[in-house]
Structure 1
Amino acid sequence: MSPLRIAIVGFGKIARDQHVPAIAATEGAVLAAVASPNTSLAGVPQVATLEELLRNGPPFDAVALCTPPQVRRDQAAIALAAGKHVLLEKPPGAMLSEIGPLLTAAVAARRTLFATWHSRVAPAVEPARLLLAGRRITAVRISWKEDVRVWHPGQAWIWQPGGLGVFDPGINALSILTRILPQPLFVTSADLAFPANRDAPIAATLRLADAAGLPIFAEFDFRQTGPQSWDIHLDTDQGPVILSSGGAKLSAGGVQHVVAAAAEYAGLYRRFVELTATGEPDVDLTPFQLVADAFLLGHRRTVEPFEDAT
């Protein structure tokens, strides 16, 4: 069987650091081209845009859209109309309402639309889900705090409408939470801190619950210096369970569980290859819905302006 020929559209930090090595490590996949106006990859055909790729580029079967979320809907629609499978970086778009028509188009064309959540593929997430299945969870606390200047240097799109601000990393925590908890969740309150000169929040606190009233408190912050935190702490009837390092580590009752190291993006691409074999879609919008509800329900506070040091 011929390998799935994948073109990366948008070639920034995440594409170079994660997508390129993941494709190289995935059996049945090969990087066919890059579409980016400003950057290239040695040994790989490069054009400026998806449209140019479709007109003049090498043959390919699928696109991985690593562009900012504000432009992904148009690109996904173009790719699906051209008969290509589509992988969407997270979040899948700038708005919830734009994903439904894309899914309809994908099903009609018998092409895969894959809305990815890379943190769900972190090595300790599935072990945590299985562990928690036999316990009663009584409370959840999330601390997802990082330095935006380190992880998103000079990325103006993240501060623009549709860029999500601190929810760009925060949605990773929500993607894990909605995977490991057994019941659907909803937002009960939100506090959003917007820099005076930006259109997206730099920090947020959320309270969530499930139908049984499970209390969940989440703190997201882009202003963290020093140690970074990507942790989910769950109180259970058999002691605490902690997912740390973004889902890479698991401890329960003070005992560290050994989990096999795994590359998140390689897991996504293995799944993508499987899906494209049949044209099956995989689109779970639950984490995105929680972020949208936080914006709808949230109290907005204005804080000091943010200036990117770069």
Structure 2
Amino acid sequence: MTAICLVGIGKIAVDQHVPAIAASDHWDLAATVSRAGTVHGVSAYTDFDQMLDERPDIPVISLCLPPVPRYDYAAKAIAAGRHVMLEKPPGATLAEVDALDNMAQAAGVTLYTTWHSRMAKGVAPAKAWLADKQITGAHINWKEDVRRWHPNQEWVFAPGGMGVFDPGSNALSIITEILPIPIHLCSADLHVPENRDTPIAAQLKWTENVTGDFDWRQEGPQSWDITVETSAGPLLLHDGGDRLIIGGKEIAAGNSREYPALYDRMAELVKTRASEVDVSPMIHVADAMTLGKRMITAPFDF
């Protein structure tokens, strides 16, 4: 088993990364770095530089920090010769992810930009079915409750936090994976609370008759759905990609191994010292921030 250090012990780390590592035959969680969070029985650090200095036996770093501070940690890890796994979105800007990619290539270490929703059960078969189909349109309906999934996490509404595009990038990672044709953004309406810096909701329009409706204010049942219209009929992905329905028939259903699958893939990449860097979902977020018409809406507080 390979030693790994988990940096940033917040909600996503506790809910997803720690259980995935614990269940894996590839990894041994040898250390954590966090200002407050710890994992029982695991060596805990509050200073990343100290961990790098004291633990040369740990060759792999998994970064679960918010996007803005992530670059500095990743750059230090790469400079120290460590392989790096990045939680989504992989950075606060496209340029910094490109810089990390160049650093990793020069250092001969792995850099993996993870997109966990691509590992959902229905995504691969959806991509395969759409490969030879004529696409006539598609719609993303991605609506959830920020208070439930990001409780009191103020950083999501700060510059670099991406607002509703933090979860929205999950949908974008799926649509960029399954569509056999390229799309680019034509327009966007961004709904920004008057006391915040990033959008809480957005409506997007792309080429090829592709649209998206994102909202972080949905209470009750949550909506993570993608519909693709084709000449052969519609394809529906529900529950964040876990359910695939084609022609009214359920093709795939069940709970996915999203994060375990990410760690399996990281093990493969480290073994061959290969990297996997894909920023296509981030490109659409950046385009939305550039093209988007800002509409000031009611203030939001947790």
TM-score bracket, shorter-length normalisation = over 0.9
Q: Alignment partner of 1:262: what SS?
A: coil
Cα distance in structure 2, aligned partners of 1:9 and 1:192? 32
Distance in 2 (CA, whole Å) between partners of 1:112 and 1:259 is 32
Asked whether 1:299 is paired with 2:293, we answer: yes
Q: Is the 8 A contact 2:5 2:33 kept in 1?
A: yes
Question: Which is worse superposed, 133-142 or 10-19?
Answer: 133-142
- Cα distance in 1 for residues equivalent to 2:236 and 2:290: 30
Asked if structure 2 preserves the Cα contact closer than 8 Å seen for 1:171 and 1:288, the reply is yes
Matches within 5 A, 1:66-85: 66-85=64-83
Q: Does 1:42 pair with 2:40?
A: yes
Partner in structure 1 of residue 7 of structure 2 = 9
Residue in structure 2 matched with residue 290 of structure 1 by the alignment: 284
Establish whether residue 20 from structure 1 lines up as the match of residue 15 from structure 2.
no
1:224 shift after superposition: 0.4
- The number of residues matched between the two structures is 302
| Cα distance in structure 1, aligned partners of 2:128 and 2:253 | 13
Extract structure 1 runs of 4+ deviating beyond 4 A.
none
Whether the 8 Å CA contact 1:165–1:200 is kept in 2: the answer is yes
Give CA deviations for 1:86-140 in whole Å, capped at 9, x if unaligned: 0000011111111112111101111001011000011110011111123222110
SS in 1 for 2:41: coil
Task: Give 5+ residue unaligned stretches, structure 1.
Answer: none
- Distance in 2, matches of 1:174 and 1:43, equals 37
| Cα pair 1:26 1:266 within 8 Å, conserved | yes
CA distance in structure 1 between the partners assigned to 2:55 and 2:36 by the alignment: 17
CA drift at 1:259: 4.5
Alignment counterpart, residue 127 of structure 1, candidates 125, 128, 142: 125
CA distance in 1, matches of 2:252, 2:102: 41
Instruction: State how far apart, in whole Å, the 1-side matches of 2:35 and 2:186 are.
Output: 42
Cα distance in 1 for partners of 2:176, 2:9 equals 29
Measured on the aligned residues, the alpha-carbon RMSD in Å equals 1.1
* Aligned equivalent of 1:223: 217
Alpha-carbon shift at residue 262 of structure 1 (Å): 3.0
Task: Return 107-116 or 132-141, whichever deviates more.
Answer: 132-141
1:45–1:58 contact (8 Å) kept in structure 2:
no
Judge which range, 23-32 or 105-114, deviates more: 23-32
Query: Measured at CA, do residues 288 and 145 of structure 1 come closer, stay the same or move farther in structure 2, by a change above 3 Å?
Result: same
Cα shift at 1:256: 1.2
Describe how 1:57-206 pairs up with structure 2 within 5 A.
57=55, 59-206=57-204
Q: Partner of 1:238: helix, strand, or coil?
A: coil
- Cα distance in 2, alignment partners of residues 258 and 286 from structure 1: 25
The answer on whether the counterparts of 1:36 and 1:47 sit within 8 Å (CA) in structure 2 is: yes
Q: Conserved in 2, the CA contact under 8 Å of 1:195 and 1:302?
A: yes
Q: Secondary structure at the match of 1:86?
A: strand
Kindly provide the CA deviation profile for residues 183-208 of structure 1, in whole angstroms up to 9, marking residues without a partner as x. Answer: 22210000000000001100000001
Cα distance in 1 between the residues matched to 2:102 and 2:86:
15
- 2: distance between equivalents of 1:262 and 1:217? 26
1:11 partner SS: coil
Decide whether the 8 Å contact of 2:243 with 2:254 is kept in 1.
no
> Is the contact made by 1:32 and 1:58 (CA closer than 8 Å) also made in structure 2?
no
Identical columns (%):
50
Letter in 1 for 2:252: V
Q: What letter matches 2:257 in structure 1?
A: A
Say if 2:250 is the partner of 1:252: no
In the other structure, the counterpart of 1:243 is: 237
Amino acid at match of 2:179: L
Determine helix, strand or coil for the equivalent of 2:256. Answer: coil
User: Is residue 269 of structure 1 aligned with residue 267 of structure 2?
Assistant: no
| CA apart distance, 1:258 | 3.2
Unaligned runs of 5+ in 2: none
Structure 1 residue 160 displacement after superposition? 0.5
Q: Per-residue CA shift, 1:36-89, capped at 9, x if unaligned?
A: 110111110001021121133473111110011000000000000001000000
